[in-house]
Amino acid sequence: MSENYDRVHQIQALISEKLFVEVDSPDTDLFETGTLDSAALIELLLGLEERFGFILSLAELELDDIRTIRKIAGLVAQTTAASSEVQR
C-alpha cells in the first residue's frame, strides 16, 4: 500500500483516538461537519506533531491544508519531507 494511504489511516485513527469521532471518508470536510472546532483543532495538531515527529508552524498553517484527512495527509508528507531535508 502507498505511504499516503497509510498516512490517511493513521490520521483517521488519530482523530478517533483524540477527538472520539469517526470520519468515514478522507475527503469529508472536517469544519463543515463540525468535527473540528478551535479546541479540537489544537488537540489534532498536537496529536499530529506527536505521532509524526514534527512541529507545525501555526503562522504558516492554512485552514485549507487541514480541511480533510486527505489534505492533512498531504501536509504531513510535505512537512516531514521538509524536516528530513533540514536534518541532512
- pLDDT tens for 28-68 read 999 999 999 999 999 999 999 999 998 888 888 999 999 99
Whole-number pLDDT of residue 37:
94
The predicted structure's pLDDT at residue 88? 47
CA 35 → CA 10, 31, 49, 66, 74, distances in Å?
17, 6, 19, 12, 19
Give the other-Cβ count within 10 Å of 60's Cβ. 8
Q: Helices 69-87 and 3-19 sit at what angle, rounded to 10 degrees?
A: 110
Give the separation between CA 11 and CA 48, rounded to whole angstroms. 8
Tell me which amino acid residue 82 is: A
Question: Structural domains in the chain?
Answer: 3-83 (1.10.1200.10)
Q: Are 44 and 14 in contact (CB under 8 A)?
A: yes
